[in-house]
Amino acid sequence: MEGVDHLAHERNKAQFDVAVMKAVWAGSRDAYELFHRFSRLVANDPEMFIPAIKAQATEEQQKQWLPLANKMKIIGSYTQTELGHGSNVRGLETTATFDPKTDEFVLNSPTLTATKWWPGGLGKIATHALAHARLIIDDKDYGVHGFLVQLRSLDDHLTLPGITIGDIGMKYGSGAYNTMDNGSLIFDHVRIPRNQMLMRLSQVTREGKYVPSNVPRQLSYGTMVYVRQKIVFDASIALSRAVCISTRYSAVRRQFGSHNGSPETQVIDYKTQQARLFPLLASAYAIRFVSEWLNSFYKDLLQRLEAKDFSTLPEAHACTAGLKSITTSVAADGIEECRKLCGGHGYLTSSGLPELSAVYIPACTYEGDNVVMLLQVARYLMKTISQLKSGNKPVGTTAYLGRAEQLMQYHSDVLRAEDWLKPNVVVEAFEARAARMSMACAQNLSKFNNPEDGFQELSADLVEAATAHCQLIIVSKFIEKLQQDIPGKGVKEQLGVLRSIYALFLLHKHIGDFLSTDCITPKQGYLANEQLRSLYSQVRPNAIALVDAFNYTDHFLSSVLGRYDGNVYPKLYEEAWKDPLNDTSIPDGFHEYVQPMLKQPLHHGRL
């Protein structure tokens, strides 16, 4: 069976130029060539040690430490999270107390919950930590700062006095993050020289005077924006990988529907399978394009920051927080859905999906819990709305709120199912929904005497409003992408179908929002659903080619079910026989435990 392409009939159905789509997916022809050459991508855990030193250390400190770190003469771990404190950095308990007598800081973990917990590489490998601790001078607490602390001897790697380090134990999945060294760390009055505090943003003098630097604090946000936009990109990789596996296997797998000895129906031909799978295929493309936009937004931000222009920083912060939250949630849930769409075999490790899921799901929690992120977006939206009265014209992704009055009057004018294919019809409905949900929150908030009480009480509604806003961004960026010049036979048409699937699937999923804000009528919602069904039929013949366009090698996919050639069953069988359990016919422990039970009076070889 080797060498046969079992999905050739599927590939022949494609109505577009796959080579061009590969370049579109990769972002550009150059990016495609690059990816094609180095086609081994792994879902990276965000590295932070070195970027953090760049952001927080003085130039002098950077000169001293970066060469050591870059040449791996020291191995650093970014050490922030504590056993009792995650998202809330201000709640950290570890202290760094200045001792003017010796010109040192004394690092200490005053409680068990102050134990550093989770940092990558910390438990067994790191020689140094960039430890975050509360700076204490003369009993005064100056808040959390960064300190470079040596943990282990560079001679024999043994831990230094006052340092207790260990691994935090087993995690989700059979491989996954278990190969990652997540560590714990307790300081018992560990002394470091004063110059090992990262002093770019504020300094402590020899006399113990705290001097905030004149470097704008905003600069440090650049790192966070960078990391989060990278996470959005990674979400498109992770989700598309699962979608590729699930789509190919859905074309291979047959179940039910045989008439008079004909083959059973391909699972991908079932409408229920399509209604779950194709929105995820469209979502993979949607996330890809919004991450492309976010990356260019980030590059623009960097240039502005260097020129001391902080005007786009709040929006960058809100966008990356919101898109980080939405895209990682969609990817995590989507991977699991793809696993389910593979039926029982999706549960096998050789399907690649259990590990993909186990490795991916922490993305919903790290670098900002997804709910906390959406609440930050909501704060930004509420602030934007409160400033409308004073004539502040919102720009960028919140520009539509400047048309809030007009959007409050909006009623969709959709009359026929096809009307839902018009990008402006879709965008207006999404804008009106997002604006009305935010405006309703703002109005309800105004009823509270204490705005913080209101924000807390209404937080579930605020999360929904923020979600609507972020979905609008993704829909809009998909539409903008298609306003670019995209060559290649059928490529733009296929992307248009995916764009509509993405938007109308969201509309169907959140139909309650659209109806309860009175943006559309039940009839219009019904027409959207009708259009969606027809779009599924349109995408069906192109499905395999659309996942081929991701250009993932079998090696990268690591999935028997997602094989390019669709030769699933023989390989599944082959994989099973690699299991060490199959090295012997009689399992370990059989003679000790099972045989005595069987060996009773009855002794013949056959029944």
| Binding-site residue set | 81, 120
Among 251, 375, 441, 491, binds a second copy (CB under 8 A): 375
Report if residue 369 touches a second copy, rule: CB under 8 A: yes
Among 3, 161, 391, 605, binds a second copy (CB under 8 A): 605
Binding region for FAD: 81, 120
Task: State the nearest-atom distance from the C-beta of 398 to a second copy, in Å.
Answer: 22
Alpha-carbon Rg for the chain in angstroms? 28
Residues with a catalytic annotation lie at: 367
What the block records as the tokens of 595 is 């045989």
Span near a second copy by CB under 8 A; candidates 8-16, 77-85, 129-137, 389-397: 77-85
Q: Convert residues 15-54 into a mask of x (bound to a second copy by CB under 8 A) and - (unbound).
A: ----------------------------------------
Task: State the nearest-atom distance from the C-beta of 350 to a second copy, in Å.
Answer: 6
Which residue lies nearer to a second copy by CB, 14 or 501?
A: 501
Report if residue 354 touches a second copy, rule: CB under 8 A: yes
Report if residue 254 touches a second copy, rule: CB under 8 A: yes
Task: State the nearest-atom distance from the C-beta of 416 to a second copy, in Å.
Answer: 17
3-class SS at 97? strand
Report if residue 275 touches a second copy, rule: CB under 8 A: yes
Strand-pair partners of 186: 164
What the block records as the tokens of 380 is 């930004």
Among 46, 50, 54, 87, binds a second copy (CB under 8 A): 87
Written in H, E and C, the secondary structure of 125-157 is CCCEEEEEEEEEECCEEEEEEEEEEECECCCCC
HSE-up of 86 (CA within 13 Å, CB side)?
Answer: 8
Report if residue 555 touches a second copy, rule: CB under 8 A: no
Which residue lies nearer to a second copy by CB, 424 or 449?
A: 449
Among 20, 53, 55, 75, binds a second copy (CB under 8 A): 75
Segment (H or E) for 430: helix 423-445
Rounded to whole angstroms, the Cα distance separating 198 from 182 reads 23
Span near a second copy by CB under 8 A; candidates 221-229, 300-308, 421-429, 593-601: 593-601
Rounded to whole angstroms, the Cα distance separating 192 from 569 reads 60
Rounded to whole angstroms, the Cα distance separating 124 from 114 reads 19
What the block records as the tokens of 60 is 């002098």
How far apart, in Å, are the Cα atoms of 485 and each of 423, 479, 488, 526, 606?
16, 12, 10, 33, 74
The packing angle between helices 271-306 and 221-252, to 10°, is: 160
The packing angle between helices 491-509 and 18-26, to 10°, is: 60
| Four-CA torsion 197, 201, 204, 209, nearest 10 degrees | -160
Among 39, 102, 205, 258, binds a second copy (CB under 8 A): 258
Task: State the nearest-atom distance from the C-beta of 528 to a second copy, in Å.
Answer: 11
Rounded to whole angstroms, the Cα distance separating 217 from 308 reads 11
Which residue lies nearer to a second copy by CB, 134 or 477?
A: 134
Task: Give the distance from CA 330 to its chain's centroid.
Answer: 8
Among 203, 312, 349, 386, binds a second copy (CB under 8 A): 349
Task: State the nearest-atom distance from the C-beta of 143 to a second copy, in Å.
Answer: 13
Which residue lies nearer to a second copy by CB, 220 or 459?
A: 459
Report if residue 522 touches a second copy, rule: CB under 8 A: yes
Hey, how many other C-beta atoms are within 10 angstroms of the C-beta on 101? Answer: 6
Report if residue 256 touches a second copy, rule: CB under 8 A: yes
Inter-residue contact 320 to 232 (CB < 8 Å): yes
Please give the residues from 496 up to 515 whose contact with a second copy meets the rule CB under 8 A: 508, 510-512, 514-515
Please give the residues from 144 up to 183 whose contact with a second copy meets the rule CB under 8 A: 148, 150, 153-160, 165-174, 177-178, 181
Which residue lies nearer to a second copy by CB, 463 or 544?
A: 463
Which residue lies nearer to a second copy by CB, 496 or 525?
A: 525
Span near a second copy by CB under 8 A; candidates 36-44, 51-59, 312-320, 570-578: 570-578
Report if residue 566 touches a second copy, rule: CB under 8 A: no
Inter-residue contact 561 to 554 (CB < 8 Å): no
Closest CA to 14 of 371, 548, 481: 548
Please give the residues from 108 up to 137 whose contact with a second copy meets the rule CB under 8 A: 112-113, 115, 118, 123-125, 127-128
3-class SS at 92? coil
Report if residue 271 touches a second copy, rule: CB under 8 A: yes
Which residue lies nearer to a second copy by CB, 22 or 253?
A: 253
Report if residue 424 touches a second copy, rule: CB under 8 A: no
Please give the residues from 318 up to 337 whose contact with a second copy meets the rule CB under 8 A: 336
Residue where the block lists tokens 């604006």: 435
Sign of CA dihedral 29, 30, 33, 39: negative
Report if residue 189 touches a second copy, rule: CB under 8 A: no
- Phi and psi at residue 423, to the nearest 5°: -55, -40
Report if residue 81 touches a second copy, rule: CB under 8 A: yes
Amino acid letter for position 507: L
Span near a second copy by CB under 8 A; candidates 23-31, 88-96, 306-314, 414-422: 88-96
Hey, how many other C-beta atoms are within 10 angstroms of the C-beta on 48? Answer: 20
Please give the residues from 432 up to 461 whose contact with a second copy meets the rule CB under 8 A: 456-461
